Amino acid sequence: MLKLKSMIAIVDYGMGNLRSVQKAFQKVGADVVITSSSREIENAKGIVLPGVGAFKDCIDNLKRFGIIDSIIKSIEAGKPFLGICLGLQSLFEESEEFGSSEGLGIFKGKVVRFKEMGLKVPHMGWNQVRFVRRPEFLSHIPDNSFFYFVHSYHVVPTSNEIVSGITDYGYEFVSMIYKDNVIATQFHPEKSQTVGLEFIKGFYRFVEQS
């Protein structure tokens, strides 16, 4: 019998360059669908939550599309999950962007604006990621690899146990988290050329093996 590929759902809630994420996964051979359907999210073997823009708009749109429960249930069920940029920030309890906004609360902690350090905000362009700890499926990526960033806010987890990658921009901030089936990045793997594709290939391998 022909073995079917594991379908990965890229969550569409009206924010983010979804096509570039889709194309990156297709380049590594993944079967992906861009969707705002709760049913497709729940039936997928892996979930990708990308996004750029404002935190509150992200949460409001997820509510409007009625897909928050499906995302949380998928994570709680142990389904491989990748959050990218705003997809990382949304996993936390709150953000200080435009006042205080409540997040999904998957992890304890908050999202804060970069401190005034004489550097341009947003933090935009290539920067290094120093791995503190990481899943086996990313072990082939060299430490201190350069990835592409564009953001004005970053996450401050309550617990260091989920911290996976650190980046310096005037001071060190958390650029990647990892716990069990969840990995999320402040950088954009889909915009990070060869090393980004290696990252996506690793996550796809994780989905296939789950």
Q: Select which of 76, 94, 190, 208 is catalytic.
A: 190
Is residue 172 flagged as an active site residue? no
Is residue 188 flagged as an active site residue? yes
Tell how far CA 106 is from the center of its chain: 13
Share of the chain above pLDDT 90, in %: 90
Quick: pLDDT tens for 126-146. 999 999 999 999 999 999 999
Which residues are registered as beta bridge partners of 101? 95
Q: Select which of 123, 151, 154, 188 is catalytic.
A: 188
**Cβ-contact 147, 195 below 8 angstroms:** yes
* Number of domain units in the chain: 1
- Residue 90 is part of which domain span? 7-209
> CATH code at 154?
3.40.50.880
Mean pLDDT of the chain: 94
Q: Please, which pLDDT band fits residue 5 given cuts at 50, 70 and 90?
A: very low
Q: Select which of 85, 123, 151, 154 is catalytic.
A: 85
Q: What pTM value is reported for the model?
A: 0.95
Assess if residue 1 is contained within a domain. Answer: no
Rounded distance, CA 32 to CA 8, Å? 5
Quick: pLDDT tens for 159-203. 999 999 999 999 999 999 999 999 999 999 999 999 999 999 999
Is residue 190 flagged as an active site residue? yes
